[in-house]
Amino acid sequence: MTEQLQKTDLKNMTRDELKAFMKEMGLPAFRGEQIFTWMHNGAVSFDEMTNLPQKLREQLSEQCMITCHEIARVQSSKTDGTKKYLFRLADGNTIESVFMKYKFGNSICVSTQAGCRMGCRFCASTIGGLCRNLTAAEILEEILAVQRDTGERISNIVLMGSGEPFDNYDNVTKFLELVHDPKGLNLSLRNITLSTCGILPNMRRFGDEFPQVNLAVSLHASNSELRSTLMPINKKYPMDELMEVCREHVEKTGRRITFEYTLVKGVNDKDENLSQLTKLLGGMNCHVNLIPMNPVSERDFKGTDRRFAEEFCKKLEKKGIQATVRRELGSDIDAACGQLRLNSQK
């Protein structure tokens, strides 16, 4: 395993980087194009690259590697086709991805870190803290591995799995370049949504560098004091500063922002919370995604039931705030983010 980790991971390279790497090996740049296309079509070994000379394939096998995740476990929903994957990485760490079927196409929720250090109190992903960041190749491989397993193309990506994307900014943005490459998966940036708990410097940077990517902000509270008790990040970047950056982002990109709001019974689902939320978001081009909390046995919180969530949603809409209740997918499997990984470690 150590030897494998020391090899150069070609899947972590952009097309231009691969072409330059081939030139360094004394080879024509078009070999980099060929390798890039093979990897992004799902090839997991150099032996599959039949338009490369045998000698080159052998040389690449000795010096290089292609990140390939081992499927440690799959949970498949019997109700809606959702599949939750537990992947084992080369160093033994595990991560999760979720494959979801919609009328508009197939979507995947990917992880950006093994674990998380944000410490949100209702989330399973952060239990145990952060193990490490994922490379761009490892995030990309979540998609390719699921496509190989299902035989179906993925057209939409949400970066909402384990980890905080803006805590792994450079690898995440390189991943976005890779999936957007026309010789790769060729996914539109408008078909990608990134969720952040609010690391403000990187939110500003992202709005400049990737204005087409949809931004979702994990809000989960209607006032700053409550948010600090649920999400430690709020102590560093308070809600008033967060909302200022959110409004800047909408103005800069011209795109609607989504606020994720996990309804926790008796904590953030009261009438006063609804009034505060209405005042907080009034006049902004935004949408509230209400999420009935999945139960996590290691946490004390209880989720608001879906019927109550629907009523909360209607009240928000009457106040002029666009809102929906997140569709429940995979309700018969470990649905909460981080649960499958957490259960595998017990």
pLDDT in tens, 136-151: 999 999 999 999 999 9
User: How many CB atoms are located within 10 Å of the residue 167 CB?
Assistant: 19
For residue 2, the model assigns a pLDDT of: 46
Domain-wise residue ranges, the chain: 2-65, 70-344
Q: Does 2-65 match 70-344 in CATH topology?
A: no
Site of tokens 């949970």: 75
CATH C-level class of 2-65: mainly alpha
CATH topology of domain 70-344: TIM Barrel (3.20.20)
Tell me whether residue 337 is one of the annotated catalytic residues: yes
> Which of 62, 64, 96, 328 is the catalytic position?
96
> Which of 116, 246, 313, 337 is the catalytic position?
337
User: What is the identity of the amino acid at 299?
Assistant: R
List Cα–Cα distances, 309 to 105, 149, 233, in angstroms. Answer: 26, 35, 25
Task: Tell me the pLDDT tens digit for each residue of 67-111.
Answer: 999 999 999 998 888 999 999 999 999 999 999 999 889 999 999
| C-alpha–C-alpha distance, residues 290 and 87, integer Å | 28
* Helical H segments across 282-318, by residue range: 306-318
- For residue 203, the SS3 value is helix
DSSP assignment, residue 136? H
Torsion of CA 31, 32, 35, 37, to 10 degrees: -110
Beta bridge partners of 84: 75, 98
- What predicted TM-score, i.e. pTM, was given to this entire model? 0.93
| C-alpha–C-alpha distance, residues 105 and 114, integer Å | 27
Q: Give the least confident one: 35-44, 184-193, 324-333.
A: 324-333
